[in-house]
Amino acid sequence: MDMSSEGAATGIGPTHRIAVIGSGNVGAAIARGAVRAGREVVLGVRSAAKAEVPAGVAVASPHEAVAGAGIVVLAVPVAALADVVPTLAVEPGTIVVDATNAVGAPVPGGHPTVAHHVAALAPHARVVKAFNTVGAEHLDGTPVTGRPTFLPVAGDDGGRADIVELARQMGFDAVDLGGMDAVVHVEDHARLWIHVAIVRGLGRDWTFTIARP
C-alpha cells in the first residue's frame, strides 16, 4: 500500500499505525496510551498466550506487527535488541523508538548510548529515544497530578517531531532535546529517575514534571 497517498486522501499518515515490540510493563503501557490517543496499535509478541493485551490493541508476531507501521517502539530488554531488531525487517525511513534502558550493564557494542546501538542494528531507520524516563506505571501518559509528566525526546532529525506529537497526544509534556548527540541526556535522565526511585528509595509512584509560571 502507498501509505503517503493514503495519508493525503484520509488525513491519516503512516505514523498513525504503531507497532510496539514487547508486551511487558513498558510495551503494554505505551500501547494503552497510544490507543487512547487515537492511534492504531499492534503489539509484537513472541508468545501470544503470555501477552497481556490492552483493550483496542491488536496482537501479532514482532515481524508481522512492523509491516505497515510508521512507528516501531522497542520495549524489550537491552540484551534482546541484537536478536530482535534484525528480525523485524524495518522499512527504510520508519521511525524506531528506543524505550529501553541499560540497567547495571554497559551499552552493547561499545556505543555511546543504547539508541546508537539500535541505529547500528537498523541503519536505515530513523531512531528516536523516548519513553524510557518514566516508570512503567505512568507510561501511558496519564498525569500523576494535574501537571503532565515531562518526557524528553532526542534522536533522528526526521523522526523526533512525530514522537513529540504522539507523546503530547498521550498526555505527556514532551520536549525535543535535539539530535543523536542529545540522546545521552535522555538516557542520563532515566538513570536519575532509577537512582532516586530505586537506589534512594523514593519508590516508583512519581514522575518528573516541568513547573512553568
Ligand X SMILES: NC(=O)c1ccc[n+]([C@@H]2O[C@H](COP(=O)([O-])OP(=O)(O)OC[C@H]3O[C@@H](n4cnc5c(N)ncnc54)[C@H](OP(=O)(O)O)[C@@H]3O)[C@@H](O)[C@H]2O)c1
Does position 25 interact with ligand X (CB under 6 A)? The reply is: yes
Query: At its nearest, how many Å lie between ligand X and the CB of residue 200?
Result: 16
> Quick one: which of 14, 27, 152, 159 contacts ligand X (CB under 6 A)?
27
What is the CA angle 189-136-199, rounded to 5?
55
Query: At its nearest, how many Å lie between ligand X and the CB of residue 83?
Result: 5
Helices (H), the chain: 3-10, 25-36, 62-66, 81-84, 114-121, 160-170, 183-194
Q: Give the integer Cα–Cα distance in Å for 192 and 8.
A: 42
Q: What are the Cα distances from residue 5, in Å, to 1, 71, 175?
A: 9, 17, 30
Does position 60 interact with ligand X (CB under 6 A)? The reply is: no
Does position 47 interact with ligand X (CB under 6 A)? The reply is: yes
CA dihedral 146, 33, 50, 42 (to 10 degrees): 180
Under rule CB under 6 A, how many of the chain's residues touch ligand X? 24
Does position 26 interact with ligand X (CB under 6 A)? The reply is: yes
Interface of this chain with ligand X, residues 114 to 143, rule: CB under 6 A: 132, 135-136
If the CB atoms of residues 3 and 194 are measured against ligand X, the closer one turns out to be 194
If the CB atoms of residues 126 and 138 are measured against ligand X, the closer one turns out to be 138
C-alpha of 104 from chain center: 20
Sign of CA dihedral 179, 13, 27, 149: positive
If the CB atoms of residues 62 and 148 are measured against ligand X, the closer one turns out to be 62
Does position 22 interact with ligand X (CB under 6 A)? The reply is: yes
Ranked by CB distance to ligand X, the top (closest) residue is: 24
From 12-20, 21-29, 32-40, 115-123, span contacting ligand X (CB under 6 A): 21-29
Q: What are the Cα distances from residue 9, in Å, to 14, 18, 40, 41, 93?
A: 12, 20, 17, 21, 21
Phi, psi (rounded to 5 degrees) for 30? -65, -40
Interface of this chain with ligand X, residues 78 to 117, rule: CB under 6 A: 78, 80, 83-84, 99-101, 103
Positions touching ligand X (CB under 6 A) are 22-27, 46-47, 50, 62, 75-78, 80, 83-84, 99-101, 103, 132, 135-136
